Structure 1
Amino acid sequence: MDIRLGGLETPQVAALLEEHLEDMRRFSPPESVHALDLDRLRAPDLTFWSLWAGEEVLGCVALRELDPEHGELKSMRTSAAHRRRGVGAALLDHVVAAARGRGYARLSLETGPTVEFAPARTMYAAYGFAPCGPFGPYVHDEFSVFMTLPLEP
């Protein structure tokens, strides 16, 4: 597995992100879908990585800087064909290391509360993410679960 900076220009990543957006729209009401499309992932406050095996994209993740001490995990996705094979863990290890390298005091995320998001919430909790209140641009929403991970210097 090879984690690469970028990949947004490839058709493989575009297809993976479209799959991600379709799922988010299926499991959440429109006002509660916080997933980013290709254009929004190109914002200057975001860093995007994709994970590859040869010419096949297995997953992706982005890191948004909310402020100099706080990062947000965005667009974490493992392709359906590669779930439960360590792709999510590899991406999460990478983005947590990047957040620590930037000197963030914490890394936060928003995910869904329904059963479809349970595997993600379980993985985040295993990494030490704990429930928290809304952060950054978010407000309380019954279709959102907010989690944060304190990062050691």
Structure 2
Amino acid sequence: MHIQLDNLTGPEIAALLQEHLNDMNAVSPPESKHALDLTALKASDISFWTLWQQQQLAGCVALKQLNTRQAEIKSMRRATAFRGQGIGKLLLHHVITEAKSRGYQQLYLETGAMEYFAPARSLYRSFGFEPCGPFAQYKEDPNSVFMRLQL
């Protein structure tokens, strides 16, 4: 497996991100859906990586700079075919390492409060993320869980 910086032009990533958006639309009310689409992920303050096993896309993750000391994890997704293979751990380890190398002091994320997101919340906690209040543009929302990792 290898992780690479991605320019978001391949059909595989478009399909994986559409699957991600479809799932978010199915489980999150519109006012609580914070997933970014392909165009939004191409913003200059976002870096995007894909994880590949041979020629198959296994997952993706993005890092959004909030300011010189803080960043946010966005669009972390594992492809369905790779469920149970530790893809989330690999992606999370990669993005934390990258955030540290860029000198960020805090790494934030927003995820859902619903049962569907319980495995993600558990993964984040296992890496040391702790609950926090809303950050950046977010507002208090009963459907969102905000987490922070001190780097």
TM-score interval for Structure 1 and Structure 2 normalised by the shorter chain:
over 0.9
Match of 1:95 in 2: 95
After superposition, where does 1:54-69 map in structure 2 within 5 Å?
54-69=54-69
Equivalent position amino acid for 1:8 in 2: L
Q: TM (normalized to structure 2)?
A: 0.98
- SS class of match (2:66): strand
Match of 2:16 in 1: 16
Distance in 2 (CA, whole Å) between partners of 1:15 and 1:39 is 13
- SS class of match (1:142): coil
8 A contact 1:71–1:108 mirrored in 2: yes
After superposition, where does 1:38-53 map in structure 2 within 5 Å?
38-53=38-53
Q: TM (normalized to structure 1)?
A: 0.97
TM-fit CA distance, 1:57: 0.4
Match of 1:123 in 2: 123
**1:110 is the counterpart of 2:110:** yes
TM-fit CA distance, 1:31: 1.2
Task: Give 4+ residue runs of structure 1 displaced > 4 Å after superposition.
Answer: none
Match of 2:75 in 1: 75
8 A contact 1:7–1:50 mirrored in 2: no
- SS class of match (2:16): helix
Gaps of 5+ in 1: none
Distance in 2 (CA, whole Å) between partners of 1:83 and 1:122 is 15
Match of 2:136 in 1: 136
TM-fit CA distance, 1:7: 4.6
Distance in 1 (CA, whole Å) between partners of 2:96 and 2:121 is 16
- SS class of match (1:67): coil
Equivalent position amino acid for 2:56 in 1: E
Distance in 1 (CA, whole Å) between partners of 2:95 and 2:64 is 10
CA deviations 1:85-134 (Å, max 9, x no partner) are 11111100100000000111110000001111000000000000000000
Distance in 2 (CA, whole Å) between partners of 1:91 and 1:106 is 17
Q: In percent, how many aligned pairs have the same letter?
A: 53
8 A contact 1:7–1:13 mirrored in 2: no
Match of 1:37 in 2: 37
CA RMSD of aligned residues (A): 0.7
Gaps of 5+ in 2: none
Distance in 1 (CA, whole Å) between partners of 2:76 and 2:138 is 18
